[in-house]
Amino acid sequence: MKIDNVRVFDGERVLPHQDVEVHNGVITRVSRAVAASAEADGRGRTLLPGLFDAHVHLAPQPEEALRHLVRMGVTTVMDMFSGGEPLARMRHLRRADPPQMAALRLAGTGATAPGSMLEKLAGQPLPAVDGPAAADAWVRTRLHEGADHIKIIYDEREGGPLELATVRALVHAAHTHGVLAVAHATTEQRAREAIAAGVDGLAHLFIGDAVEPDFGRFAADHGVFVVPTLTVLRGMCGYRPHQDLEADPRLIDQVRRGRPRIPVRPPDPGRNHLFTAATQALRQLAAAGVPVLAGTDTGLPTATLGVFGYGATLHGELELLVHAGLSPTQALVAATSAPAQAFRLTDRGCIRPGMRADLVLVEGDPTTDIRDTRNLIAVWKHGTHVELAEPGH
């Protein structure tokens, strides 16, 4: 396969007028364009690495979700909390890596204290962590179940009274077994404690009226990455979720597909000020050089978040990142090379010879207008062309 005379965003920088060749699912050549025949005409278009969503929840229908994701150009996702029978199916899908579904990496069941709210919502016991002494065995069990990384719910409301000493022990156990540990923390204080405990990344930012002026430098000094999930935080702060996405004809089918409609909490402008901490923190992180990863938390329908469309929300998240202060190029890095590097997926996230041919071709130039990621022309997963419409559409 060859794409000729295309603008390439290679995961870090823009390369104009390039020819890109793929053989056996691998990028074999990226070079200055010359007159030649090709399978795809790149004139006026931009070729991107396959996009990442670094925070999703795929249960209860992972196959359907992964199909929706790849049709929207999202070729790799990080599932951040799943268990039971859906997790077993995800393990199979992770190994098989079918061409018409996004690739995935798994956290398995997140670490919570006994009797947590998440356990009550699940309606069945979760494999909780009852103190630091239980951490190593708990981590080993998650890895045996197929987890690629460990997620720690350091949030008393959702995860129960998980002690900081237990968080430290979980991080130590994860690192001992060679995997990453990420933390769910929804206040700045908890986020700082998790960072100081040694986590590799935050699965969310947090909400509030303000953030301390040294937060970005603190995160940089500890070498963490951050998945802001502005999509979900904005909903928590009284904004109507997905209003823009539902109005965009390029996305509306995917926004509405895959999840039933549920009642949505009415907008509450009185809470909008709480989004300030997230946007301030994001600007600090970017200024300090902290890796920012694009992720949406898609998959948990709530009265705050309303309708979800797997994949479509990632395009909305990119726009929110730009509105919060990132440049379009920084937002694209957050959805390509940054998550690949953070999660040690060295075979993807960039357009270079030898890399896996996960590719997205769009009309326009998303390095100047981030909304151009929505102008999908073609998607390839490991060199295989993805059908962008469902059968019968």
Q: What is the pTM of this model?
A: 0.94
The confidence score (pLDDT) of residue 253 equals 66
- What's the Cα-to-Cα distance from 254 to each of 16, 73, 242, rounded to whole Å? 31, 12, 12
The confidence score (pLDDT) of residue 390 equals 67
Residue 306 to residue 304: CA distance in whole angstroms: 6
The confidence score (pLDDT) of residue 146 equals 94
Burial class (CB in 10 A: 0-12, 13-18, 19+), 34: exposed
3-state helix, strand and coil shares in percent for the chain, rounded to the nearest 5: 35, 20, 45
The confidence score (pLDDT) of residue 148 equals 98
Helix axes 84-96, 62-71, angle to 10 degrees: 50
- Residue ranges of the chain with per-residue pLDDT less than 50: 258-262, 302-307, 393
Residue 27 phi, psi (nearest 5): -70, 125
Task: Please report the domains of the chain, with CATH numbers, ordered by start residue.
Answer: 50-109+204-349 (3.20.20.140)
The confidence score (pLDDT) of residue 251 equals 79
Whether omega for the bond prior to residue 60 falls within 30 degrees of 0, making it cis, is yes
The confidence score (pLDDT) of residue 240 equals 78
DSSP 111: B
The confidence score (pLDDT) of residue 264 equals 57
The confidence score (pLDDT) of residue 8 equals 98
